[in-house]
Chain A
């Protein structure tokens, strides 16, 4: 037996934190670097993402797989009416593809995954230098794992729809007179429904006889640990904003009796645009 760790190293954000406390930073209130959107305004970042993905699903195989991954991320903040409790909407969606290999030997599998997160946030701390937003979130994750070597169970579907919360933390500062912003976001599902075959329930039978009942499971953190964590640095360059980030997406569950552990570590490079949206109606 052996123990394997494929997860992202949580020391990376810690390193960011240490740099922030050690390096002589000066907090700035530069709206040109980054600011929360006003009402009817959306700050949107489109990013390409590259990194690695890993998966283990004992419905398909006893082994673990990993490989490079390529993806796309859409990240946005929207301002709501000022009198509302939740003054900001935070939306994150991504799509990734990863061809993976058995980590120990032959065999290969492929993953196509996507997620959509929508959070409604209340400003717990809001100042010229630091914005801390928290609020409820709706989270949807969907992925398809394909094992090329299997016969009647080549594909499995991973997915959940849940509610949870989101924490969004932005810090504006300058380093060597260069203004920038560091952002961290965490999405954490707490309860919802997840899809997984009832142990060895064949997809063929689900399709042919429309027997899905036991494939839908209630999820909570004790049977479905999932999270999406983002850290990003916003760099203003001649009036434009580049956003360089790292996203860790992870789901670990044992729904239906099989063990599933899928995730990815992605580095993102994105371009940020502020949109003014027209008000509908009168």
Chain B
């Protein structure tokens, strides 16, 4: 046997030995199982994603009687191999709608699957026409969705219609300068459906002089319904180098306040000089995440629960300090019951601090 043949054999031998880990990796890859892009596969993918990652199953079982295993049993009967995509989408939307969570959605070309009963099942307690009437024509725009003016009785009125985008330090300083002589401030977040958590926190940080523990949060640490991390503090720090408001504040809330607006409500409620007035907020106390089904439909779900300063779930909303309902007779004469009660509250507070 010649020398070159021996070297060839030794090279090939070493090469084959090096292939062992590659083969192991290949085997490992083959073991990874995925759901098929069939009605049944997509159904199981959706149900399992929710089962392993949705964070409010125990709460929903306790408050709404939702049993996720029973839901699977009930809806799987509607799935057949020849079901149309549109019909499948409708079944999926109904299934996740059982959770009655505004953060649980299914997106496809057919629709944005949702259950907004957290808002639609309750009185609106809000009139956009009346809000516009109070703002008048000479209001200031302090950011996208931020409108304000000073009312006749020297009370500031700030409308925050959305937290989709925030405002800036400069605009906050100008606003507080414009309202420096006001006796109090009304912040109207009715029908604010949320948006950016940072925007809500930024606004709230202008109403405290010290660091305050406003709530807690945790996140899922495993697929079990009760696999959660420990509670972490959610602390609000005062806005650095900005003007801060230390006079009375009334925040107007209704069932349309959801997600970041819900966070804003419980954050403000933890502050000393702030009063919540109106209706319970719509909730949405779970930080949402997304995942994708084999057919490309995107499912969004509440993933990390938040709690108020007393470690209560905020998923079902924040109760106001002063419960108020809009009165039909007020609406008929162009009066916003909420705003008038808030003005009275602030004016009374000046007389009786």
Residues on A facing B (Cβ under 8 Å): 1-10, 13-14, 16-17, 20-21, 25-27, 56, 58, 60-64, 102, 104-107, 125, 127, 129-130, 132, 147, 149-153, 167, 169, 171, 173, 182, 184, 186, 188, 198-202, 204-205, 209, 211, 214, 225, 227, 229, 248, 250, 252, 257, 259, 261
Contact = CB atoms under 8 A, between A and B. Distances in A.
Interface in B1-56: 3-4, 7-12, 14-19, 21-26, 28-30, 32-37, 41, 45, 48-49, 53, 55
10 closest pairs, A vs B, by CB? A106-B296, A105-B296, A27-B4, A150-B290, A104-B37, A61-B292, A171-B11, A200-B220, A105-B295, A7-B29
Nearest to A28: B4
B295 A7 contact: no
Interface string B65-84: 00000000000000000000
A5 B12 contact: no
Given A27-B7, A169-B18, A186-B21, A102 B29 contact: no
A132 B14 contact: yes
A17 B300 contact: no
Interface residues of B, number: 62
B291 A60 contact: yes
Nearest to B48: A62
A63 B34 contact: yes
Nearest to B290: A150
Contact of B7 (A60, A127, A211): A127
B139 interface: no
B34 A64 contact: yes
Contact of A26 (B4, B10, B28): B4
B227 interface: yes
Contacts of A14: 16, 19
Contacts of B23: 10
B288 A151 contact: yes
Given A17-B12, A151-B289, 16 more contacts: A2-B36, A7-B26, A27-B3, A27-B4, A64-B34, A104-B296, A106-B295, A152-B288, A186-B18, A198-B219, A200-B219, A200-B289, A200-B303, A202-B289, A252-B32, A257-B221
B182 interface: no
A252 B28 contact: yes
B126 to A, nearest CB: 26
Contact of B291 (A4, A61, A259, A261): A61
B298 interface: yes
A4 to B, nearest CB: 6
B322 interface: no
B221 A199 contact: yes
A63 B12 CA distance: 38
B292 A202 contact: no
Contacts of B258: none
Given A25-B4, A205-B217, A259-B32, A151 B25 contact: no
A18 to B, nearest CB: 9
Given A3-B30, A20-B8, A171-B8, A202 B287 contact: yes
A7 B29 CA distance: 7
